C-alpha cells in the first residue's frame, strides 16, 4: 500500500513521541511491504515562533493531501500569556475544522500488568475496556468569545445535525462491542444539553432500538467512572465534557501516557494524537511515555489506511513490551527501573519487527 502521512510534531514532548510513532509506522511499512511517505510540518507554538501563525497554509495543504495526519502535542508556558492574540491551541482547533473531523475516539483499556500503576484499587479497574466518543467541532470551544476589562463570555452552541452524527458514530461502535451506550450531558442546567438529550434519545430510539442505553449528568458520570468503570462500554458526550472525562479516565489505565485517540469525520482521512498534551516540564529529557503515540499510530493504520492486521500487531507489540516489564517513569512502580522514551520505543519495535 502507498500512503502519504503528515507528521505534526508540535511542542513540548510532541517531537519526541512523534518520532516514536514515525519509527513504528516505518517498521510496519518494512515488515508488511508498504510504501509510507512522510511530510513534517509546523503547528502550534513551534509554528508561531517560525511563522507567527499556529497553522501555516503549507501545513493545511500537506494535511489535506495526506491519507492521515499524526499530531504530537501543542502548547506550553512560552505561549500561555492569557492576553496573547495568537495561541498554539488555535492551530489545533482550526486543523480539526479544516479536516472536518468531528468524532474523537478515545479508547481506555486497563492492562493487567499496569493495574498497580493506577491510583484506584484493583477491584475497581480490573477488566475495564471502554471508549469515550467526544464531539469535536462544536460546543463552547468553537462558540463566539467576548471579553472586556470586567466581563468575558464563551458561547456554547450545538445544532441538531452535529448531535445526530456523533451519536451515530458512538452507537455503531457500541453495536460492535457490548451493545451498551451511555450519553453524558448536563440537561438539568444547560439548554444545549437539553437539546443534546432530546436529539440523542430520538436518534437512538429511531435508528438503534436494540442498544442498551443510559443517560448520566456529567457530574454523576465523573463519579461513576471511578466507582463503577467496568459498567461502561461506549460513552458519548459533547466537546468540553469529553475533554475533561477522558483525562479523568486516563487514571484508570495508570497514566495519560497510555491513551491514544483518533479524530474522524466522513472521509477516511483522520487526525491521530496521544491525549497527554505537551508536558513541557519533561520536554527534551527522553523520559516521556511513547505508548499513547504508538497506539495512536495503530489507530491510524486501522481507521485511515484500512490495515487492521498491522494495527493489531502494533497494539500487540505494546502489550508485549509492557508484559515484559518495560516501564517509563509514569507507569513504573516502586522498585522498578524506568526506561527512556527511546528504550521503550526500541522494545516495542523489537516485538513488532
In CATH, what number is assigned to the domain containing residue 284?
3.40.718.10
Same domain, 289 and 182: no
Domain coverage including residue 320? 1-102+259-353
| 141 a catalytic residue | yes
- Half-sphere exposure in the Cβ direction for 339 (13 Å, CA): 16
Report how far apart, in Å, the C-alpha atoms of 88 and of each of 81, 111, 136, 272 are. Answer: 11, 33, 17, 17
d(CA 351, CA 353): 6
Same domain, 333 and 306: yes
**Does some domain include residue 124?**
no
Instruction: State pLDDT tens for residues 13-43.
Output: 999 999 999 999 999 999 999 999 999 999 9
If one counts the domains in the chain, the total is 2
In this prediction, residue 84 carries a pLDDT of: 84
Length of the chain: 353
**Active site residue: 112, 219, 266, 312, which one?**
219
Same domain, 213 and 293: no
**Active site residue: 129, 154, 247, 286, which one?**
247
Same domain, 90 and 143: no
**Active site residue: 11, 185, 243, 330, which one?**
243
Burial of 205: CB neighbours in 10 Å, binned 0-12, 13-18, 19+: exposed
Same domain, 3 and 98: yes
Among 228, 251, 274, the domain-final residue is: 251
| 49 a catalytic residue | no
**Active site residue: 141, 158, 272, 330, which one?**
141
Check: CB of residue 123 under 8 Å from CB of residue 232: no
Among 251, 267, 290, the domain-final residue is: 251
**Does some domain include residue 107?**
no
**Does some domain include residue 120?**
no
Same domain, 92 and 180: no
Among 226, 251, 276, the domain-final residue is: 251
In this prediction, residue 174 carries a pLDDT of: 98
Q: Which residues face 134 on adjacent strands?
A: 104, 237
Instruction: State pLDDT tens for residues 99-108.
Output: 999 999 999 9
**Does some domain include residue 161?**
yes
In this prediction, residue 270 carries a pLDDT of: 98
**Does some domain include residue 202?**
yes
Same domain, 226 and 277: no
Same domain, 134 and 247: yes
Same domain, 1 and 56: yes
Q: Which long-range contacts (CB under 8 A, 24 or more apart) does 61-66 make?
A: 62/6, 63/6, 63/8, 63/95, 63/98, 63/99, 64/98, 64/99, 65/4, 65/6, 66/3, 66/4, 66/5, 66/6, 66/39, 66/269
| 32 a catalytic residue | no
**Active site residue: 11, 158, 185, 186, which one?**
186
In this prediction, residue 205 carries a pLDDT of: 97
In this prediction, residue 338 carries a pLDDT of: 97
**Does some domain include residue 117?**
no
pTM confidence score: 0.93
Same domain, 285 and 312: yes
Same domain, 226 and 280: no
**Does some domain include residue 113?**
no
Residues of the chain with pLDDT under 50: none
In this prediction, residue 333 carries a pLDDT of: 87
- The domain that holds 239 is classified in CATH as 3.40.50.2300
Same domain, 267 and 324: yes
**Does some domain include residue 166?**
yes
Amino acid at each position: 500500500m502507498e500512503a502519504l502521512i503528515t507528521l505534526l510534531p508540535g511542542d513540548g514532548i510532541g517531537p519526541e513521541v512523534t518520532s516514536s510513532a514515525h519509527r513504528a509506522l516505518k517498521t510496519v511499512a518494512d515488515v508488511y511491504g508498504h510504501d509510507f511517505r512522510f511530510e513534517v510540518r509546523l503547528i502550534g507554538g513551534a509554528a508561531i515562533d517560525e511563522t507567527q501563525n499556529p497553522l501555516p497554509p503549507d501545513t493545511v495543504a500537506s494535511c489535506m493531501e495526506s491519507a492521515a495526519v499524526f499530531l504530537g502535542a501543542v502548547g506550553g508556558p512560552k505561549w500561555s500569556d492569557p492576553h496573547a492574540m495568537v495561541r498554539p491551541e488555535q492551530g489545533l482547533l482550526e486543523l480539526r475544522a479544516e479536516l472536518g473531523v468531528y468524532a474523537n475516539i478515545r479508547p481506555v483499556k486497563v492492562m493487567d500488568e499496569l493495574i498497580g500503576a493506577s491510583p484506584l484499587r484493583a477491584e475497581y479497574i480490573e477488566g475495564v475496556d471502554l471508549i469515550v466518543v467526544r464531539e469535536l467541532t462544536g460546543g463552547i470551544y468553537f462558540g463566539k468569545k467576548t471579553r472586556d476589562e470586567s466581563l468575558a463570555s464563551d458561547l456554547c452552541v450545538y445544532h441538531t445535525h452535529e448531535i445526530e452524527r456523533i451519536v451515530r458514530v458512538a452507537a455503531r461502535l457500541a453495536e460492535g462491542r457490548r451493545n451498551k451506550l451511555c450519553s453524558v450531558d448536563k440537561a438539568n442546567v444547560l439548554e444545549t444539553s437539553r437539546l443534546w438529550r432530546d436529539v440523542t434519545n430520538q436518534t437512538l430510539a429511531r435508528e438503534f432500538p436494540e442498544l442498551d442505553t443510559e443517560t448520566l449528568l456529567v457530574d454523576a458520570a465523573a463519579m461513576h467512572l471511578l466507582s463503577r468503570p467496568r459498567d461502561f462500554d461506549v460513552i458519548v458526550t459533547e466537546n468540553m465534557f469529553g475533554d475533561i472525562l477522558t483525562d479523568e479516565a486516563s487514571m484508570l489505565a495508570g497514566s495519560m501516557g497510555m491513551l491514544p485517540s483518533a479524530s474522524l469525520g466522513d472521509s477516511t482521512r483522520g487526525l491521530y494524537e496521544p491525549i497527554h498534551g505537551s508536558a513541557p516540564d519533561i520536554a527534551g529529557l527522553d523520559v516521556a511515555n511513547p505508548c499513547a503515540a504508538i497506539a495512536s499510530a495503530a489507530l491510524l493504520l486501522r481507521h485511515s489506511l484500512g490495515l487492521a492486521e498491522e494495527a493489531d500487531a502494533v497494539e500487540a507489540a505494546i502489550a508485549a513490551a509492557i508484559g515484559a516489564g518495560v516501564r517509563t517513569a509514569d507507569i513504573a512502580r516502586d522498585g522498578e527501573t524506568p526506561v527512556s522514551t527511546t528504550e521503550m520505543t526500541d522494545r516495542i519495535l523489537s516485538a513488532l519487527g
